[in-house]
Amino acid sequence: MTHDRIEARLAAVEARIARAAARAGRDADEVELLPVTKGHPVTAIEAVRSVGLGRIGENRVDEAETKQTELGGRKALVWHMIGRLQRNKARRALAAFDVIESVDSLRLARTLDRIVGEEGRAPVEVLVQVNTSGEDAKAGFEGGDALSGVREVCELRGLRVAGLMTMAPYTDDETVLRTTFRRVRELSEQLVNAIPGYEGRVLSMGMSNDFEIAIEEGSTRVRLGTVLLGER
């Protein structure tokens, strides 16, 4: 991935983001683009930096560690953990990532909180992953458990809950996608009013196949891999 190539792809993606935001009566500046570099070589990360993007998303702790070693450090990027995180890798994840977007259970949240306390770290920014699609294969807090779950996560002093993350079903059914994303936005609005400590400023939802619909339904962060960096 060369600088010129990613620059052209970025311009096209930003235009699509702007059009989706305009359709919803929103400002495109309200939507943050998170490049997803999982499965791509470190040259993709260098290309991301070359066009002025300061954040990247990775799905696996091992892969992020390897890339940081190859790069000689984090390269002043903000690293987001966006994949499923096993509790036995929580300490390593906290060392490798600045933001954990995939806090999908109280057990994981409590493990992260404990490690933050043991290491004397400042509170770590997290997103609580929710499942509003009803798919059994999707991780995250569901239904009525979401409100009580987020409340308990917000009570953990080592974590700062910036908002919610979700993964929509992989489908072309626009109604399903809109319903999934809308429910997350409505849940976040409910949580802001109900839970002290819940910031509610980030809704991380939408990927290469559905990010425009996600923006129209309120997303503030879209996680884009293929559409920005090409096939892995």
Average pLDDT for residues 78-106, to the nearest whole number? 97
Q: What tens digit of pLDDT does each residue of 34-91 get?
A: 999 999 999 999 999 999 999 999 999 999 999 999 999 988 999 999 999 999 999 9
Average pLDDT for residues 2-14, to the nearest whole number? 91
**Overall domain count for the chain:** 1
Q: What tens digit of pLDDT does each residue of 122-131 get?
A: 999 999 999 8
The pTM score is 0.95
The vertex-119 CA angle with 113 and 123, nearest 5°, equals 45
Which of 117, 80, 97, 102 lies closest to 224 in space, CA to CA?
80
CATH code of 9's domain:
3.20.20.10
pLDDT band at 1 (very low <50, low <70, confident <90, very high): low
Q: Domain range holding 73?
A: 3-229
